[in-house]
Amino acid sequence: MIPAGSHTDLIWPLSLIPRKWTAIESTHPPYTYGYDGDVPPAGQWTVAISRYGLMFSVNSHGWLFRIGTFRYDYVDKYYEFPTLTLKRHS
């Protein structure tokens, strides 16, 4: 299920866009290389490929950087478009 409200993990002004405008429900997660999951642990990276494009994320020195044409939410099972994130993460 796609959560209501705006994006909380995108940079401004993308964070102002309602999530339901940029999300598609799907039970098919992307193919991943590197860490297999949503947010890689410290010092790890992920490259994900799906029919919706590519996504790259890295967690380094307490910062998460993610960029790509999509992000897959493994808990609620949906894709959101696009993704551009820079935030503190442990």
pLDDT for residue 25: 93
pLDDT digits (tens, 9 = 90+) for 38-62: 788 888 899 999 989 999 999 998 8
Distance CA 18, CA 26 (A): 18
Cis peptide before 29 (omega within 30 of 0): no
pLDDT for residue 68: 92
pLDDT for residue 49: 92
Distance CA 74, CA 15 (A): 20
Low-confidence ranges of the chain (pLDDT < 70): 9-10, 90
Query: What does the domain layout of the chain look like in residue ranges?
Result: 14-88
pLDDT for residue 40: 86
User: What's the length of the chain?
Assistant: 90
